[in-house]
Amino acid sequence: MNESIKIDTLIQAKWIIPVEPDQLVLEQHAIAINDGLILDILPVTKAKQCYLPQQTIILNDHAVIPGLINLHTHGAMTLMRGLADDLPLMEWLNHHIWPAESRHVNMQYVFDGTMLACAEMIRGGITCFNDMYFFPEATVAAAIESGMRASVGLVVIDFPTAYASDTDDYLAKGLSLRDQYQRHPLLSFCFAPHAPYTVSDKTFNRIVTYAEQLNLPIHTHLHETQEEILISENNHGLRPIERLRQLDLLGPNLIATHMIHLTDHEIDLLSQYGCHIAHCPSSNLKLASGFAPIPSLLKQEINIGIGTDGAASNNRLDLFEEMRLAALLAKAINGQAATLPAHQALRMATLNGAQALGLEQRIGSLTKGKAADIIAIDFSDLNLMPCYDPISHLIYTASRDHVSHVWINGNMLLEDHKLTTINLKDIQYRALGWQERIAASRS
């Protein structure tokens, strides 16, 4: 008889939904975890024979899935949640958000805001976030302290801020941060030029060169509003996508966020160049930016992940809500109930996001050898009864409040709905302090 293998953790669950392959649901299976990696997925009875875990987590009423990946957010902007609601994008940015940022954003602000965001995201089953904000070194510090996986944006914008004085300063600081942390197991990096209307051709050219040399994604806002497109046509004689094509930005390392106002030709270009899209349905609706043509993008087999955007324009960092909205809006836009089925929405919030970040070999699905980024959803709540299809329930019925456990790299960050790495009282105290400062400056 073979001796049992010693491992760190064994998770037993009613259902395991690995995402790869699509629609697979494993009943009464277990995940063996060791050294932060998924060692095995096998029936519970066999797992008990093969493995000797230091701890066993028994989840008899739960579905276990890969951790959700928030493909676009501005974590620190949780401190501006609800600051200037019910306004169009450019008015919201120019007259409220940017003035508030110029008065308040510093290292401490970004750290405190990102810690608040990490707490919200972990409790909602998000295990990796792709961030774009100033003082990314504070984002790094918050991600490390909370234990979250993060793709940190090396932000670039063509005007001075409290973070950097000019393009050279933005790039130098960002590249230095990347060099310092490039081997950290939970961190990766993207270039994050804010948007075509805030970044010059010269700056984009430099970013393309660096991105090619370092093999880093480029993460930017693109075709979010009609006004953005008019600005580009007036200033450059081109729509933004065509301008970026001529600057060699279109390619498999581009993560284009929003992508609402698109022609058929532009959709063809995105497919031809292998670009990725970060779809943010709640933000698109709240800012009245429009409806992204998701059905047409799916027909072209363009990779689409899901993001929340920042809490200032959503106002929640809730990927369960985003998955549901993404599926429902796609059906309504296409006039067909079969458009964007539940299993595809789940893949968009997991493996598709990993592919966009170049992390699909490490995260995004429950597969042997990948990092143990795992979440459990408790189906014992009466609002989830009865259940005929757990994948359907994840998209159309479950909420982030049903997330009971979260593991990142094999470490448990949420146990029975309670955070293990973040002091909630401290975070709440800091958030209230910033609320008082920001509110006083507006009165």
> For 252-260, what is the mean pLDDT?
98
- What is the predicted pLDDT for the residue at 88? 83
Distance, in Å, from the CA atom of 243 to the CA atom of 203, rounded to the nearest integer, reads 13
Parallel, antiparallel, or unpaired: how do β-strands 276-279 and 254-258 relate?
parallel
> For 316-327, what is the mean pLDDT?
98
Counting residues of the chain whose pLDDT is more than 70, the rounded percentage is: 99
Considering the domain architecture, whether residues 35 and 76 belong to the same structural domain is answered as: no
Considering the domain architecture, whether residues 13 and 101 belong to the same structural domain is answered as: no
- In 35-159, the DSSP E strands lie at 37-43, 51-66, 68-73, 126-131, 149-156
Give 415-435 pLDDT, tens digit per residue: 999 999 999 999 999 999 999
Give 354-393 pLDDT, tens digit per residue: 999 999 999 999 999 999 999 999 999 999 999 999 999 9
Indicate the pLDDT class of residue 328, thresholds 50, 70 and 90.
very high
Considering the domain architecture, whether residues 107 and 134 belong to the same structural domain is answered as: yes
Where b means 16+ CB within 10 Å and e means fewer, 90-117 reads eebbeebbeebbeebbeeebbbbbbbbb
Answer whether residue 333 is part of any domain. Answer: yes
Cα dihedral sign for 37, 182, 72, 274? negative
114, two tokens: 């990102």
Q: What are 220's strand-pairing partners?
A: 256
Answer whether residue 430 is part of any domain. Answer: no
Domain of 181? 68-356
Cβ burial of 388 (10 Å; 0-12, 13-18, 19+) is exposed
Distance, in Å, from the CA atom of 54 to the CA atom of 210, rounded to the nearest integer, reads 45
Considering the domain architecture, whether residues 58 and 207 belong to the same structural domain is answered as: no
- What is the predicted pLDDT for the residue at 2? 67
Give the DSSP H or E segment for 192.
strand 187-193
Considering the domain architecture, whether residues 92 and 50 belong to the same structural domain is answered as: no
2, two tokens: 């073979």
413, two tokens: 């960050």
Strand, coil or helix: 148: coil
> For 57-63, what is the mean pLDDT?
98
Spatial contact of 223 and 260, defined as CB atoms under 8 Å apart: yes
What's the chain's average pLDDT? 97
Answer whether residue 404 is part of any domain. Answer: yes
DSSP state for residue 371 in the 8-state scheme: B
Distance, in Å, from the CA atom of 191 to the CA atom of 178, rounded to the nearest integer, reads 10
Considering the domain architecture, whether residues 121 and 256 belong to the same structural domain is answered as: yes
Considering the domain architecture, whether residues 108 and 18 belong to the same structural domain is answered as: no
Does the pLDDT at position 127 exceed 80? yes
Does the pLDDT at position 410 exceed 50? yes
Considering the domain architecture, whether residues 174 and 287 belong to the same structural domain is answered as: yes
Answer whether residue 209 is part of any domain. Answer: yes
> For 259-264, what is the mean pLDDT?
98
Answer whether residue 441 is part of any domain. Answer: no
Torsion-angle region of 165 (φ positive above 0: left; ψ -120 to 50: alpha; else: beta): alpha
Structurally, how many domains does the chain consist of? Answer: 2
Answer whether residue 438 is part of any domain. Answer: no
Answer whether residue 442 is part of any domain. Answer: no
How much is the pTM?
A: 0.98
What is the Cα 34 distance to its own chain's centre? 26
Answer whether residue 187 is part of any domain. Answer: yes
> For 128-150, what is the mean pLDDT?
98
Spatial contact of 98 and 347, defined as CB atoms under 8 Å apart: no
- What is the predicted pLDDT for the residue at 93? 85
Q: Dihedral through CA 305, CA 12, CA 420, CA 33, nearest 10?
A: -80
- What is the predicted pLDDT for the residue at 227? 94
Give 13-40 pLDDT, tens digit per residue: 999 999 999 999 999 999 999 999 999 9
Per mean pLDDT, which range of 81-90, 125-134, 404-413, 427-436 is the poorest?
81-90
- Last residue of a domain, which of 356, 389, 422? 356
Strand, coil or helix: 55: strand
Does the pLDDT at position 1 exceed 70? no
Residue 47 belongs to a domain with what CATH number? 2.30.40.10
Per mean pLDDT, which range of 16-20, 71-75, 83-87 is the poorest?
83-87
Distance, in Å, from the CA atom of 218 to the CA atom of 211, rounded to the nearest integer, reads 7
